[in-house]
Amino acid sequence: MIAHTQTLFGAVALVAVIMGSCLILVGQLRHRDGMLTTGLGMLSHSLAYIGFTLFGQVSIWISYVLANTLLSTALAFYTVSLPLIHGQRPPWRLAFAFPLLLGVLLSLLIDTQEPRQLVACLLLFTQCLVILRLSRIHAVLGGRAHRILMIGAGISLFGLGIRVVVILAGAPTEMHYDVSNLKQTVSVALGAATIIMFSFGLVLLSRERIESELRQTALRDTLTRLPNRLPILEQLTDELERARRQHTPLSIAMLDLDHFKQINDSHGHLVGDAVLRHCADHLQQRLRRNDNIGRYGGEEFLLILPGTDASGALELVDQLRQSMTQHPAQIDDKHIALSFSAGVYGSTSPVAEDITGMLLKADTALYRAKHAGRNTQVLATAD
């Protein structure tokens, strides 16, 4: 099917202007989440296509030089949107150097045909490659939006490739914007697909980024930056599953800081908070790579020690406890001595275990450690 090229350009421009305006409204004129720049990209894209519809009717300065510069400006806006969505500083100068260069080169080559067309294709091609690369770099872990952006950039590269092949094959007039043929129809349709995929991909990327941020905030304790109760218990469930499958031992330890109320009472809650941060950092830095730690409660931490039996766990907790007593927290000019008590439970046959039972045993052992005078660890008995 061969469509009337300029009507097709006009239809795509209309779609782009509607989508761009919606995005600008959603972005509320703030460019922090990348929506404003994405919307401006769409508007620029649509203006470029309106310019193409006027090819042959107005001066070539408007329908070719200005229109292609606007198209390049649209790609520059998409380029800066990617880091903006991630709250990073975008490469403004690099991104907008392309339309500037394109505008200058096309002005210089205005009286030529193939060189002018090839330069436009080459610069737009490079911009799509930059978008392709940035889409990879700025992918959200586990997200899919970057794939849509990469496909969009790929489609655009393909469309530009068609134009280059036709121009190099000696038929540049076939790619004039007022000529209707199958190659033009395909090329403009690919341009439309690019606009839709870029806008959709960037909006989706922004959503994925916000969701990932919310997930992080919900699962991380804001004070200590450790996983909070929910994720550390999920981790325990996963580790228990793995230990069952692989028939490996699994140990846990419940740690509770000694006389923490006194620290709050003598130095105030803010210092208490700083002490908690110190404890979390201290413990985390001394754990092995496969071990996990989470903030289980106020000043209680849960350690998960995969592949470790009871005696190994007891030894590790003893080392952590000694190291904690040897390193008082230094908050402002205060040195605050610290210790913890711990209940340790290790299982060599995790098949028969469940996490509630394991936690109960570790907690009972912790209670005994407190009663034994604190600053010690007690190994839980299997029953």
Which among Mg ion, ligand GH3, none contacts residue 269 (Cβ within 5 to 8 A by kind)? ligand GH3
> Which residues 6+ apart lie within 8 Å of 245 measured at CB?
none
Nearer to ligand GH3, 258 or 363 (CB): 258
Residues within the interface to ligand GH3 (CB under 6 A) = 223, 256-261, 264, 269, 272-273, 276, 298-299, 370, 374
Can you spell out the DSSP letters for 122-141?
HHHHHHHHHHHHHHHHTPPT
Nearer to ligand GH3, 112 or 266 (CB): 266
Residues 151 and 208: their CA atoms lie apart, in Å, by 18
Nearer to ligand GH3, 136 or 261 (CB): 261
Residues 348 and 353: their CA atoms lie apart, in Å, by 10
Nearer to ligand GH3, 125 or 367 (CB): 367
Query: What's at 311, amino acid-wise?
Result: S
Query: What's the closest the beta carbon of residue 371 comes to Mg ion, in angstroms?
Result: 13
Which among ligand GH3, Mg ion, none contacts residue 261 (Cβ within 5 to 8 A by kind)? ligand GH3
Query: What's the closest the beta carbon of residue 264 comes to ligand GH3, in angstroms?
Result: 5
Half-sphere exposure of 51 (CA within 13 A, CB side): 19
Residues 74 and 4: their CA atoms lie apart, in Å, by 24
Q: Is 82 left (phi over 0), alpha (psi -120 to 50) or beta?
A: alpha
Nearer to Mg ion, 47 or 380 (CB): 380
Residues 40 and 88: their CA atoms lie apart, in Å, by 19
Residues within the interface to Mg ion (CB under 5 A) = 256-257, 260, 300
Query: What's the closest the beta carbon of residue 304 comes to ligand GH3, in angstroms?
Result: 21
Which among Mg ion, ligand GH3, none contacts residue 136 (Cβ within 5 to 8 A by kind)? none
Kindly list the strands in the beta sheet with 300-306, ordered across the sheet, starting from the edge strand earlier in the chain. 292-295, 300-306, 250-257, 340-347, 377-379
Query: What's the closest the beta carbon of residue 300 comes to ligand GH3, in angstroms?
Result: 7
| H-run or E-run covering 63 | none
Nearer to ligand GH3, 110 or 372 (CB): 372
Contact 159, 190 (CB under 8 A): yes
Nearer to ligand GH3, 262 or 348 (CB): 262
Which among ligand GH3, Mg ion, none contacts residue 277 (Cβ within 5 to 8 A by kind)? none
Q: Which structure tokens are listed for 92?
A: 């403004």
Which among Mg ion, ligand GH3, none contacts residue 223 (Cβ within 5 to 8 A by kind)? ligand GH3
Query: What's the closest the beta carbon of residue 276 comes to ligand GH3, in angstroms?
Result: 6
Query: What's the closest the beta carbon of residue 300 comes to Mg ion, in angstroms?
Result: 5
| Helix then strand then coil, % of the chain, to nearest 5 | 65, 10, 25
Which among Mg ion, ligand GH3, none contacts residue 301 (Cβ within 5 to 8 A by kind)? none
Nearer to ligand GH3, 222 or 326 (CB): 222
Query: What's the closest the beta carbon of residue 278 comes to ligand GH3, in angstroms?
Result: 12
Query: What's the closest the beta carbon of residue 370 comes to Mg ion, in angstroms?
Result: 8
Residue 256's DSSP bridge partners are: 300, 341
Largest CA distance in the chain: 94
